[in-house]
Amino acid sequence: MIRSTHLPLLVTLLTFVLAYALCAAQYPAMLSTRVVANLLTDNAFLGIVAVGMTFVILSGGIDLSVGSVIAFTGVFLAVVLRDTSIHPLTAFVLVLALTTAFGAAMGAVIHYLEMPPFIVTLAGMFFARGAAYVLSTDSVPIEHEFYDFLQSLYYKAPGGGRFRLIGAVMLLAFVAGGLVLHRTRLGQNVYALGGGVATARLMGVPLARTTVSIYAISGGLAGLAGIVFSLYTSAGYSLATVGVELDAIAAVVIGGTLLSGGYGFVAGTFFGILIMGLIQTYIVFDGTLSSWWTKIVIGALLFAFILLQKGLTWATTSRKRVRTGSATPS
Amino acid sequence: MKLKSTLLASAVTLLPVAGLAADMTVGFSQIGSESGWRAAETTVTRQEAESRGIDLKFADAQQKQENQIKALRSFIAQGVDAILLAPVVATGWDQVLEEAADAEIPVVLLDRTVDADESLYLTAVTSDLVHEGNVAGQWLVDEVAGEECRVVELQGTTGSSPAIDRKTGFEQALDGHDNLEIVRSQTGDFTRSQGKVVMESFLKAEGGENICALYAHNDDMAVGAIQAIKEAGLAPGEDILIVAIDAVPDAHLAIAQGEMNATIELTPNMAGPALDALEAYLADGTTPPKWIQTESKLYTAADDNQAVYEMKKDLGY
């Protein structure tokens, strides 16, 4: 019997495989290693930030600040590397500490002041974007040997696909995220918090520590995504990655995580990212469709997944009531 | 015999060109459709490609560099014959351009350039912004012909390269003509509404009769300013000479109606010269110069602006 919590994940996986097969049937070039490598490289920053978003949404929260934090990180790195002689690695550590602390601070406000995450992270979004603008309004190029070195790290597969370092960083983030969620006490607490604050408190979940940790993780991963984005574009630009937080939320939901929290897997988010990347690739391959179709398709997918979730919740609760056990929801 | 072999040779050299054009696929990564001019550029690019029988793959980046990089990578994966890129920012193109070079796909930059090594792209087709300002200034110098003239200037968005360069070019043209003086210069943010507001403040501060000419960095601001001048009870185009840049349809209409005097065209047809260069390059390896400058054509009341307006109004401006 398939557990209903796994069903959304399976649906996501099937959607991806089916979509890829359809794309490949129409454009055989879709099967090239280039497309596979592009899916990983081009979505690296989005994937990393979506791992953090999975944590947040699993706990029943939301983090709207991540897109701005990515932009801030990029501008911060670019300005620091331009104006000082600090080594990029030191700058990375510095910016990660900064963004993690920023996330933790938002988590603390959410918990101690009992504010809705939506409002607190909305404030965080404006704050981080504003801070990026204050540092520089121009696109600041990053020219450093160490950046050239990191960018030169790639594996060139037969067929021309380049698997770059940043794609590997994203895969690592997903593996680490999965391990933390399923193998640690913190992970259990995240799921418990998503099941309901009152229940979690009764279960003895340390609410303060968990909430702060969740937003710190999201902030830290947004910082990491910012580093990856700066490697991706070799520049810091305060106007970059506007709306990425919404793409990340979409990927998490398409990945089968329940928006109200409690159910979901980072693996689903990974395929959510790939599905979104695939849609974009298909539209470019086609070349005649307006690229805004990406948004329409993602919107439709989101709606379908929300309906699926609603259906599943409804089926599970009614099943519990009737106690029929193995009935598969339709 | 000799004639026959010459004919044969020319047929052989001509054949691949014809064959190439028929099944050539070009990817075009456009910034977005933030302005009327850009929408017109997209329309003209599609028309140019269609008239040459080129299969154009169009990708709108919605103002985001990450979308442009993704589109470029997808074009490369798809194995297009060439790529047209209108870059949203100047930085961050090295990696993806290297991948294109690696796959031997020539990239032509449209309308803006990038901070990457020149060897990474075939050529850049852009207008010369300083030259545009210069043409505008030269027109005004000739028009007033030595008479005293107090000029007000509506600048573009502060710090943007069109604003800086169009100002520089205009000032260069005025240099050495002491009868012309820029008395006020302020930003109107390239928008119609700001152009109107700032012109109103100019008229109040200077007095309409003391202003002899207006130079606006784009037509939209000039159209807004025309409104302000009319509301102040003056005749735009007569009491105050108006020269601007871009040659959008509304500017042609204003000139046709006598409310504006001159505009300098920023042609939306960047793709024409780009595709010419590409076809030559792919046919026999002719390397174009690294910079192809588009013409900055001056339109005045002497031209048939009504006709130009009719032609341009459906391009998407």
A254-303 residue pLDDT tens: 999 988 888 899 999 999 999 999 999 999 999 888 888 888 999 999 99
- Partner-chain contact A242 B71, CB within 8 Å: no
Cα angle B304, B309, B315 (rounded to 5 degrees) comes to 140
Helices (H), chain B: 2-22, 36-51, 65-78, 94-102, 129-144, 161-174, 192-206, 219-231, 249-256, 271-284, 305-312
pLDDT for A322 equals 64
- Partner-chain contact A280 B67, CB within 8 Å: yes
pLDDT for A165 equals 95
Q: Residue type for A33, please?
A: T
B71 in contact with A, Cβ within 8 Å = yes
pLDDT for A309 equals 80
Helix A44-58 vs helix A244-254: angle between axes, to the nearest 10 degrees? 70
pLDDT for B5 equals 47
| A280 neighbourhood in chain B, CB within 8 Å | 67, 70, 74
- Mean pLDDT across chain A: 92
pLDDT for A7 equals 83
For B75, the closest of A232, A284, A292 (CB atoms) is: A284
pLDDT for A294 equals 87
Tokens read off for B193: 């509404």
**Rounded alpha-carbon distances, angstroms, from residue A56 to A49, A114, A217:** 11, 16, 9
pLDDT for A47 equals 97
DSSP string, A43-85: THHHHHHHHHHHHHHHTT-----HHHHHHHHHHHHHHHHHHS-
| B82: alpha, beta or left? (left if phi > 0; alpha if psi -120 to 50) | beta
What's the gap in Å between the CA of B159 and the closest CA on chain A?
9
The residue among A268 and A310 whose pLDDT is bigger is A268
For A291, the closest of B27, B62, B92 (CB atoms) is: B62
pLDDT for A328 equals 47
For B74, the closest of A229, A235, A284 (CB atoms) is: A284
A234 in contact with B, Cβ within 8 Å = yes
Distance CA A63, CA A69 (A): 11
For B79, the closest of A29, A241, A280 (CB atoms) is: A29
pLDDT for B7 equals 44
pLDDT for A321 equals 67
Model confidence at A319, in pLDDT bands (50, 70, 90)? low
Strand partners, B149: B180
pLDDT for B91 equals 86
pLDDT for B112 equals 87
pLDDT for B12 equals 42
Cβ–Cβ under 8 Å, residues A58 and A257: yes
Q: What is the pLDDT of residues A202-238, one digit of tens each?
A: 999 999 999 999 999 999 999 999 999 999 999 999 9
Model confidence at A4, in pLDDT bands (50, 70, 90)? low
Q: Pairing mode, if any, of strands B107-110 and B123-126?
A: parallel
| B43 neighbourhood in chain A, CB within 8 Å | none
> What value does the mean pLDDT take over residues A1-17?
80
- Partner-chain contact B76 A34, CB within 8 Å: yes
| A30 neighbourhood in chain B, CB within 8 Å | 77
User: Looking at domain A7-322, which of 3.30.1490, 1.10.10, 1.10.3470, 3.30.70 is its CATH number?
Assistant: 1.10.3470
**Rounded alpha-carbon distances, angstroms, from residue A97 to A80, A187, A241:** 15, 22, 21
* Confidence (pTM): 0.84
Q: What is the pLDDT of residues B59-104, one digit of tens each?
A: 999 888 999 999 999 999 999 999 999 998 888 899 999 999 999 9
B94 in contact with A, Cβ within 8 Å = yes
B86 in contact with A, Cβ within 8 Å = no
Domain boundary assignment for chain A? 7-322
pLDDT for A175 equals 97
Q: Which residues of chain B have pLDDT under 50?
A: 1-21
| B79 neighbourhood in chain A, CB within 8 Å | 29
Burial of B74: CB neighbours in 10 Å, binned 0-12, 13-18, 19+:
buried
Q: What is the pLDDT of residues A131-170, one digit of tens each?
A: 999 999 888 999 899 999 999 999 999 988 999 999 999 9
The dihedral sign for the CA sequence A92, A94, A97, A100: negative
How many of the other CB atoms lie within 10 Å of CB of B227? 17
- The single-letter DSSP state of residue B266 is -
Enumerate domains of chain B plus CATH numbers: 2-125+268-286 (3.40.50.2300), 129-266+302-309 (3.40.50.2300)
Distance CA A39, CA A225 (A): 16
User: Is the per-residue pLDDT at A103 higher than 50?
Assistant: yes
B281 in contact with A, Cβ within 8 Å = no
User: Long-range pairs for B225-232 at CB < 8 Å and ≥24 separation?
Assistant: B225/B154, B225/B188, B225/B195, B225/B196, B225/B198, B225/B199, B226/B254, B226/B259, B226/B260, B227/B196, B228/B195, B228/B196, B228/B197, B228/B199, B228/B200, B228/B203, B229/B199, B229/B203, B230/B259, B231/B200, B232/B200, B232/B203, B232/B208
Tokens read off for B289: 């110069």
User: Is the per-residue pLDDT at A23 higher than 80?
Assistant: yes
pLDDT for B314 equals 87
